[in-house]
């Protein structure tokens, strides 16, 4: 793959995802409008990674990955809605506007999250073709975002755990890295990549996911409310176990760079088709500059 | 099918489901134990219906339906956990013991619900065989329990809606009937029943589901706390839109019997193999005596 302008690349893919998400809403009943309130913004990192992986693995019909891509974004959105609830992180601001429970109340926010979660699986299982691949995606995604993945990570995150490197790693790995990694894996599955390659991509995705959460933690300290679209400094006040809290800001930056090196190395080893992932890795790391 | 003792039949199937659920827990991390607290009781109506449908449609390897059956029960359990939350129905008692949020707190209850929902899809998509059938099950179930099904019904249920026959029907249909019906449908799909038969079973299942919710509403008035395992009379106090609230107790009983007639008629029309569903219908109706 030629050297690309990664900012343009991400913007193009985001536009594709935004359009597909719009098509998936705007029908049925009022609940869909409420859910779309939270869906209608976001960087679309997970769907973009699934599309990039699908294409890097030789997938030629981008439409055939879009339901999976949208499903990943809906799951991410549901997890943000539930994370923001008063009983959890109690966040008033998300993606630059009032969080869903501030807008519609707590009960509706719980249900909108539940609705998005279910609708994600409906989208991912849509259509009769590629049944084996779609079933494998449903299996991998439900595992990554479930009680041995994202939900477990969130449980650790809200728990009063000892502030240690091990706890930090468990939270980051489960809450973020597995989900990022399974997005990369899902694209490879849909492109019918060979099993060993799928697994190597998952491993590379884990490094990218760890990097992503490290830069998120760092941005919470150095970022501005405007750029973040959520309340910065919140982690510090609430005593969250973050990379800077465990390693200090310099230590967190050092480790972020190390995860970036590892991710580039693993993606790079898969050949020139995967250069785009090295550039996305650089892009994520640069967020902290 | 010979005339069966339906109480024994249900008890036998329930024992199968209980054992399969036990096998699916008791590993991984502490979250699984928390989730199992809520899973470890219940009548197992939905999984039993899926197994009965699988067998009535000629399915011979009951093991091949068990993951789907368990998945249905986990989704039902997740929906009860979220329904009981303080922001929703605020119920302290469920299945004869403290509801999950009373035991572990609200945040953990939200997460346990989310975890069960994800784990249900993990179970339903497990294994490489029957990929087309499993994908169809995932599609049908996610639709029935999502924002155009159970979640929408719950939204209507907590909303301040006009107390009318139409609202009652929308709530019952979405919150209960579609879920009961899709359990019957899932068993038929896994047994590779022909598409028209699958749809006819779904329609019959809707009648059974409406009957089920009618008897539930009636039991909330005439039942006892001990027998119910949840707080009776709660619907009345909270101003819920129930069948007796809309039609009076006698009107609700009359309509329950009519749904039972319709269900028996539709199941009966599918042949002697489906007699078991007529008997289950009678059993559900008898709950109100």
Cβ distance A138 to B139 less than 8 Å, yes or no, reads no
Quick: pLDDT tens for B27-62. 778 999 999 999 998 999 999 999 999 999 999 999
For B148, the closest of A29, A114, A151 (CB atoms) is: A29
Q: How many CB atoms lie within 10 A of CB B281?
A: 26
- B28 with A114: Cβ contact below 8 A: no
Sort out which chain B residues have CB atoms less than 8 A from A29's CB and list them: 147-148, 152
* Average pLDDT of span A35-60: 97
Question: How many Cβ pairs within 8 Å bridge chains A and B?
Answer: 140
Cβ B139–A122 below 8 Å, yes or no?
Answer: yes
Enter the pTM of the model.
0.95
Give the whole-number percent of chain A exceeding pLDDT 70: 94
Largest CA distance in chain B: 51
Task: Please tell me the distance in Å from B78's CA to the nearest CA on chain A.
Answer: 10
- What percent of chain B stands above pLDDT 90? 84
| For residues A254-271, average pLDDT | 98
Q: Which residue has the tokens 């939905």?
A: B46
Is residue A230 pLDDT above 80, yes or no?
A: no
**How sure is the predictor about B159, in pLDDT bands with cuts at 50, 70 and 90?**
confident
How does A218-248 read in b/e, with b if 16+ C-beta sit within 10 Å?
A: bbbbebeeeebbbbbeebeeeebbbbbbbbe
DSSP A227-270: HHSS-TTHHHHHT---HHHHHHHHHHHHHHHHHHHHHHHHHHTT
Residue A223: predicted pLDDT: 74
Q: Rounded mean pLDDT of chain A?
A: 93
pLDDT at B180: 98
Q: Which two tokens stand for residue B152?
A: 């929408």
Q: Is A90 left (phi over 0), alpha (psi -120 to 50) or beta?
A: left
- The verdict on a CB contact (< 8 Å) between B128 and A128 is no
pLDDT (mean) for A268-281: 97
The pair of structure tokens assigned to B100 is: 């999950």
Question: Which site among B89, B140, B147 would you substitute to test the A interface, given the most A Cβ atoms closer than 10 Å to its Cβ?
Answer: B147
- Write the class of the CATH domain B6-286: mainly alpha
Q: With CB atoms and an 8 Å threshold, state whether A108 touches B28.
A: no
**Token output for B174:** 């979405």
Q: Is the pLDDT of residue B203 over 80?
A: yes
Between B79, B106, B121, which is nearest A87 by CB?
Answer: B106
Give the ipTM: 0.95
User: Measured between CB atoms, which of B28, B121, B135 is closest to A142?
Assistant: B121
Hey, of B37, B68, B100, B151, which one would you mutate to test binding to chain A, going by the most A CBs within 10 A of its CB? Answer: B151
CA B180 to each of CA B45, B184, B238, B242, B276: distance values in angstroms, whole numbers, following the listed order: 8, 7, 25, 18, 15
* pLDDT tens string B204-248: 999 999 999 999 999 988 876 556 566 666 676 677 899 999 999
Q: Rounded CA gap, B242 and B214, in Å?
A: 8
Residues 6+ positions from B51 with CB-CB distance below 8 Å: B13, B16, B17, B62, B65, B66, B69, B187
Check A117 against B116: CB less than 8 A apart: no
> In this predicted structure, what is the pLDDT of residue A182?
98
Is B175 a residue whose pLDDT tops 90? Answer: yes
- State the CB neighbour count (10 A cutoff) for residue A22: 13
Q: Can you read off the two tokens belonging to residue B203?
A: 């329609």
Q: For residues A147 and B226, what is the distance between their CA atoms, to the nearest angstrom?
A: 32
pLDDT band at B271 (very low <50, low <70, confident <90, very high): very high
Of A161 and A110, which is predicted with more confidence? Answer: A110
Could you tell me if B68 and B186 are in contact, meaning their C-beta atoms sit under 8 angstroms apart? yes
The pLDDT assigned to A2 comes to 55
Nearest 5°: phi and psi at B4?
Answer: -110, 160
The pLDDT score that the predictor gives to residue B223 is 74
Specify the pLDDT at position A233: 67
Supply the mean pLDDT for chain B. Answer: 93
Dist. CA B80–CA B63, nearest whole Å: 26
- A148 closest CB neighbour out of B29, B108, B155: B29
Chain A residues touching residue B79 (CB < 8 angstroms): 114
Most confident of A92-96, B184-188, B221-225: B184-188
Residues A214-240 have a mean pLDDT of: 74
Could you state, in order of their start, the residue ranges of all structural domains in chain B? 6-286
Residue range B124-146: mean pLDDT, rounded: 97
- The reply to whether residue B105 touches residue A115, judged by beta carbons under 8 angstroms, is no
Burial of residue B114, with CB atoms counted within 10 A of its CB: 0-12 exposed, 13-18 middle, 19 or more buried: buried
Average pLDDT, stretch B90-108?
93
Pick A114's closest partner by Cβ from B35, B138, B151.
B151
């Amino acid at each position: 793959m030629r050297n690309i302008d990664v900012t343009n690349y991400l913007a193009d893919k985001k536009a594709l995802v935004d359009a597909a998400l719009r098509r998936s809403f705007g029908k049925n009943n009022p609940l869909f409008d409420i859910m779309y309130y939270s869906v209608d913004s976001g960087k679309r990192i997970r769907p973009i990674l699934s599309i990039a992986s699908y294409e890097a693995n030789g997938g030629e019909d981008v439409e055939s990955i879009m339901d999976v891509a949208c499903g990943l974004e809906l799951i991410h959105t549901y997890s943000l809605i539930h994370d923001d609830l008063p009983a959890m992180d109690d966040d008033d601001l998300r993606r630059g506007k009032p969080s869903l429970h501030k807008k519609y109340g707590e009960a509706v926010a719980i249900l909108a999250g539940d609705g998005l979660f279910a609708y994600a699986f409906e989208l991912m299982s849509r259509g009769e073709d590629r049944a084996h691949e779609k079933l494998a995606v449903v299996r991998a995604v439900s595992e990554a975002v479930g009680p041995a993945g994202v939900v477990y990570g969130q449980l650790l995150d809200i728990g009063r755990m000892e502030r240690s490197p091990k706890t930090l790693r468990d939270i980051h790995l489960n809450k973020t890295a597995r989900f990022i990694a399974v997005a990369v894996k899902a694209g490879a599955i849909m492109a019918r990549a060979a099993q060993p390659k799928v697994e190597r991509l998952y491993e590379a995705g884990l490094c990218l996911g760890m990097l992503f959460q490290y830069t998120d933690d760092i941005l919470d300290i150095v970022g501005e409310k405007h750029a973040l679209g959520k309340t910065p400094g919140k982690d510090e006040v609430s005593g969250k176990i973050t990379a800077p809290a465990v390693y200090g800001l310099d230590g967190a930056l050092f480790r972020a760079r190390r995860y970036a090196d590892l991710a580039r190395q693993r993606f790079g080893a898969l050949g020139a088709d995967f250069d785009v992932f090295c550039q996305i890795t650089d892009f994520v790391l640069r967020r902290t500059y």
